[in-house]
């Protein structure tokens, strides 16, 4: 497939090893601004692993080794001169299970801006928190109880709180690892609407096990299998006329 | 016939009954175990317990009461001549008899005592044979009954399970009863103490000097029993100990859980556990012979007046002793914080140290507080180090360079050496023990409450 636009993030021939386990085998994939890329594939095929390479969260796993080249705005993120902390502020992540900090709703969202010194004053911070919660579609539900603990929210609200927390640091890329797998259909719909909302401003990659979700929210889809990137391209193409046998089998539910 | 021989015979008896019943169950089932309700060995277990329990019961009764019954018999048969001096003489006479019984070459010459000892021996031998016969017959009856019930449809497995259940329950009852007994005796003796010394003096008195009254008419035979200096000393030393153990233990736990690699952890954790396994008396002489003189000499060079036995030395060494305690409990609290929280913070671009101070530690805080409280109660109850390094002076001071004393040390001092058992001095040890028990128990309860509450949040 051909890309005319300049990619926000590119991965070139990325290999990941957990000790001797070769989990990701030479994946090349681009993420674009204004686009949602869905990563699909059977369990254990390396979707999360690949995603976690993009903000170097794999550094926290002692046995993990990454090879290949990943760039953000043409900068190699595995270059020794790169500040990982800064990188993660630019590439935000939302996890499969909502993981709000045991702090107030306000402090959850303010956490990132505070450590990065994004707000000059309390009013600035209030502004950031409000805007982030609004973008995450949570503002109306929590505006009267910003002081109550984030852990006291419902699962769907918690997940949107985590998204608000991620966008509060003003990232350029947002990685989501099965953000809806712990949510009911209504909360899922809200998060999907939110992703749609967000796609204009951020490059988004989302891992999902739901074909429908991938079809609904993404413009690009990448199908992973056993650590290989089998096929990737426009979501409509992948779902209507997959080129590969394995892709077809997977999206029609014949294996996986 | 000795007790251990009888014990062995009873065990053998139960083994035999196990084997026989097992065989019998098989035979009754026509050699086909599938026809039995339970496995053959369950019939065996059942029979073995049916033999062991009653026979041990009988034998246990003999072990517990046998001697005193015989002694009672003998004392009542002694001529009045031996009891002239007073009623207390009974124990004395008994002791003389016991001496002869235990040691044939004792210098006892009184013919009545010798005769009594002879009689004791006779009775004892007869008694032990009787006990033997009784317990074996109890065992045989048990075997007979169990053997009779060995039918294919007998639910030996369930019955045996029930017996085990009762045995387990009994064990825990014994543990609980012992605890209650200890507390009750503490309470009882403390009450006796408070008859002689008012509670208010004990709790608020600033002066502690329990006198040794060798004779009742001695001057100043009753001392001062104000426990405040002791508790102050205890608090001072525990405070110093926590100043040492708190930060070091916590920081060590943070390092081990957050920064150290697996290899480092594998080495460091067992090392810390070794530190926890060092007997406190070793810490004690380390404190007394190395640390305390070091501080004294340091004081001399700095122009400070540091006693050669100081609260400082004892507190620091005690702190070292409880470091592993603090670190391993904090370690648990920190590792219990879900990794997802840590990842969440890191993914927002927080540095590891920001993540630890702002997310991990606050989340682990209740557990850490619990760990500290448990450590304090350890420090409060610690004795040996203080005995050896902090001195014996019940001084009311906040100066860590002076010698102080603690509750536990005073209890040791009060109860070692020759004492009149019901003097106020001796009884005061029980009051101190009670106070110590209540305070450490309160600390433990609070600490465990906190720790448990916090566990529930994440589990
Ligand atoms: N922390 C880790 N340590 C060792 N091996 C790991 C680790 N995380 C993942 N793996 C291995 O890497 C491979 C890919 O795992 P990954 O989590 O990326 O799969 P996934 O596609 O996200 O699956 P799922 O859909 O179930 O989330 C698996 O074989 C897994 O066992
Ligand atoms: Mg995954």
Query: For A131-141, what is each residue's pLDDT tens digit?
Result: 999 888 889 88
pLDDT recorded at residue B366: 84
This prediction's pTM? 0.74
- Check pLDDT > 70 for residue B312: yes
Q: CB-based contacts of A236: which residues, under 8 Å, 6+ apart?
A: none
Identify the closest residue of chain A to B352 by CA–CA distance. Answer: A85
Highest mean pLDDT among A217-226, B31-40, B229-238, B391-400: A217-226
pLDDT recorded at residue A1: 44
pLDDT recorded at residue A144: 92
B363-381 tens-digit pLDDT? 888 888 888 988 998 888 8
pLDDT recorded at residue A174: 92
The CA–CA distances, whole Å, from B40 to A255, B12, B43, B160, B162 equal 50, 19, 5, 12, 17
What is the residue range of B76's domain? Answer: 3-158
Domain boundary among B158, B187, B207: B158
A207-218 tens-digit pLDDT? 999 888 999 999
Per-chain mean pLDDT for chain B:
84
Ligand 2 mean position to A48 CA, how many Å? 4
Best of A64, A102, A107 to mutate (most B CBs within 10 Å, chain B): A102
- Residue A246 pLDDT class (50, 70, 90 cuts): confident
pLDDT recorded at residue A219: 92
pLDDT recorded at residue A206: 93
Nearest protein CA to atom 31 of ligand 1, as residue: A44
More confident residue, A33 or B215: A33
pLDDT recorded at residue A218: 92
- Residue B254 pLDDT class (50, 70, 90 cuts): very high
pLDDT recorded at residue B1: 67
Least-confidence region, from A114-128, B163-177, B295-309, B356-370 = B295-309
Ligand 2 mean position to A223 CA, how many Å? 14
Share of chain A above pLDDT 90, in %: 35
Q: CB-based contacts of A125: which residues, under 8 Å, 6+ apart?
A: A110, A113, A114, A119
Nearest protein CA to atom 16 of ligand 1, as residue: A46
Q: Pick the atom of ligand 1 nearest to A178's CA.
A: 27
B144 and B234 co-located in one domain: no
- Average pLDDT on B29-42 reads 84
* Residue whose structure tokens are 């079809």: A215
The reply to whether B183 falls in a domain is no
Which residues of chain B make contact with A85, given a CB cutoff of 8 A?
Answer: 349-351
In sequence order, the β-bridge partners of residue A231 are A223
- Residue A2 pLDDT class (50, 70, 90 cuts): very low
Token pair for residue B190?
Answer: 């403390």
- Residue A168 pLDDT class (50, 70, 90 cuts): very high
- Check pLDDT > 60 for residue A3: no
The reply to whether B215 falls in a domain is no
B73 touches chain A (CB under 8 A): no
Share of chain A above pLDDT 70, in %: 97
Q: Pick the atom of ligand 1 nearest to A42's CA.
A: 25
Which of B337, B400, B330 is CA-nearest to residue B371?
B330
d(Cα B159, Cα B142) in Å, to the nearest integer? 14
d(Cα A38, Cα A36) in Å, to the nearest integer? 6
- Check pLDDT > 90 for residue B244: yes
Q: How far is CA B60 from the centre of its chain?
A: 24
d(Cα A107, Cα A95) in Å, to the nearest integer? 19
Ligand 1 contact, A16 CB (< 6 A): no
- Residue B141 pLDDT class (50, 70, 90 cuts): very high
CB contact under 8 A, A93 and B261: no
More confident residue, B183 or A256: B183
The ranges assigned to domains in chain A are 9-98+170-251
B236 and B148 co-located in one domain: no
B82-98 tens-digit pLDDT? 766 555 666 777 777 88
Nearest CA-CA distance, residue B341 and chain A, Å: 6
B322-339 tens-digit pLDDT? 999 899 889 988 988 888
Residues with Cβ–ion distance below 5 A, ligand 2: A 48
Q: How many CB atoms lie within 10 A of CB B285?
A: 14
The CA–CA distances, whole Å, from B419 to B14, B91, B113, B436 equal 48, 18, 29, 22
Domains in chain B, number:
2
pLDDT recorded at residue B216: 53
**CATH class, A9-98+170-251 region:** alpha beta
Domain boundary among B142, B158, B174: B158
Nearest CA-CA distance, residue A240 and chain B, Å: 35
More confident residue, A160 or B99: A160
Ligand 1 contact, A216 CB (< 6 A): no
A174-195 tens-digit pLDDT? 999 988 887 788 878 888 988 8
B457 touches chain A (CB under 8 A): yes
The reply to whether B219 falls in a domain is no
- Check pLDDT > 60 for residue B385: yes
B19 and B100 co-located in one domain: yes
Domain boundary among B119, B136, B158: B158
- Check pLDDT > 50 for residue B121: yes
Per-chain mean pLDDT for chain A:
88
pLDDT recorded at residue B419: 63
Name the pairing type of β-strands A36-40 and A203-207: parallel
pLDDT recorded at residue A165: 93
Ligand 1, pocket-test mutation among A15, A17, A23, most atoms within 8 A of CB: A23
């Amino acid at each position: 497939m051909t890309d005319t636009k300049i990619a926000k993030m590119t991965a070139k021939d990325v290999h990941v090893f957990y000790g001797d386990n070769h989990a990701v085998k030479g994946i090349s994939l681009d993420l674009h601004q204004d686009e949602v890329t869905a990563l699909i594939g059977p369990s254990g095929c390396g979707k999360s692993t690949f995603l976690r390479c993009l903000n170097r969260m794999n550094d926290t796993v002692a046995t993990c080794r990454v090879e290949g080249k990943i760039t953000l705005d043409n900068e190699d993120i595995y270059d020794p001169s790169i500040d990982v902390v800064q990188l993660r502020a630019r590439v935000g992540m939302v996890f499969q299970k909502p993981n709000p900090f045991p702090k107030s709703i306000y402090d959850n969202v303010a956490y990132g801006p505070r450590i990065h010194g994004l707000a000059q004053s309390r009013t600035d911070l209030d502004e950031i928190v409000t805007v982030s919660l609004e973008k995450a579609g949570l503002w109306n539900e929590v505006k009267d109880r910003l002081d109550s603990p984030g852990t006291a929210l419902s699962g769907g609200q918690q997940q949107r709180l985590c998204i608000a927390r991620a966008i509060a640091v003003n990232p350029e890329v947002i990685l989501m690892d099965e953000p809806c797998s712990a949510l009911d259909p209504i909360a899922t719909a809200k998060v999907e609407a939110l992703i749609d909302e967000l796609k204009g401003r951020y490059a988004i990659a989302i891992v999902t096990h739901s074909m429908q979700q991938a079809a609904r929210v993404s413009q690009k889809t990448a199908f992973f299998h056993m650590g290989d990137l089998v096929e990737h391209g426009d979501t409509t193409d992948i779902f209507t006329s997959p080129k590969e046998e394995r892709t077809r089998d997977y999206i029609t539910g014949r294996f996986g | 016939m000795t007790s251990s021989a009888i014990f062995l015979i009873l065990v053998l008896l139960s083994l035999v009954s196990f084997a026989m019943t097992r065989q019998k169950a098989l035979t009754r089932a026509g050699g086909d175990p599938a026809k039995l309700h339970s496995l053959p060995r369950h019939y065996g277990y059942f029979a073995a317990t049916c033999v062991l329990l009653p026979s041990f019961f009988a034998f246990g009764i003999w072990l517990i009461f046998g001697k005193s019954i015989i002694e009672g018999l003998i004392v009542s048969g002694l001529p009045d001549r031996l009891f002239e001096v007073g009623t207390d003489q009974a124990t004395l006479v008994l002791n003389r008899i016991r001496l002869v019984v235990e040691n044939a070459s004792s210098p006892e010459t009184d013919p009545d005592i010798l005769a009594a000892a002879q009689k004791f021996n006779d009775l004892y031998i007869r008694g032990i044979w009787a006990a033997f016969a009784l317990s074996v017959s109890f065992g045989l009856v048990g075997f007979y009954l169990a053997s009779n019930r060995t039918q294919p449809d007998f639910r030996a497995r369930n019955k045996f399970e029930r017996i085990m259940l009762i045995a387990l329950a009994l064990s825990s009852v014994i543990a609980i009863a012992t605890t209650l007994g200890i507390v009750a005796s503490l309470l009882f003796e403390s009450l006796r103490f408070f008859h002689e010394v008012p509670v208010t003096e004990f709790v608020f008195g600033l002066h502690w000097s329990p006198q040794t009254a060798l004779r009742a008419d001695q001057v100043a035979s009753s001392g001062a029993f104000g426990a405040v200096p002791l508790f102050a000393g205890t608090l001072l030393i525990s405070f110093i100990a926590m100043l040492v153990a708190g930060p070091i233990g916590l920081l060590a736990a943070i390092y081990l859980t957050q920064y150290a690699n697996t290899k480092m952890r594998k080495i460091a954790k067992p090392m810390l556990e070794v530190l926890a396994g060092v007997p406190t008396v070793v810490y004690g002489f380390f404190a007394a012979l190395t640390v305390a003189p070091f501080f004294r000499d340091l004081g001399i060079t700095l122009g400070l007046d540091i006693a050669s036995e100081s609260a400082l030395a004892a507190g620091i060494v005690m702190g070292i002793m409880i470091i592993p305690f603090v670190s391993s409990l904090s370690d648990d609290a920190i590792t219990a914080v879900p990794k997802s929280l840590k990842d969440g913070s890191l993914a927002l671009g927080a540095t590891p140290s920001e993540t630890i101070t702002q997310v991990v530690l606050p989340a682990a805080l209740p557990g850490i507080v619990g760990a500290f409280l448990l450590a304090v109660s350890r420090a409060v109850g610690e004795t040996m180090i203080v005995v050896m390094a902090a001195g014996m002076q019940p001084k009311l001071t906040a100066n860590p360079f002076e010698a102080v004393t603690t509750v536990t040390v005073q209890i040791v001092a009060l109860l070692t050496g020759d004492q009149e058992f019901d003097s106020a001095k001796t009884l005061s040890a029980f009051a101190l023990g009670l106070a110590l028990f209540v305070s450490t128990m309160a600390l433990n309860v609070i600490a465990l409450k906190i720790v448990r509450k916090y566990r529930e949040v994440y589990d």
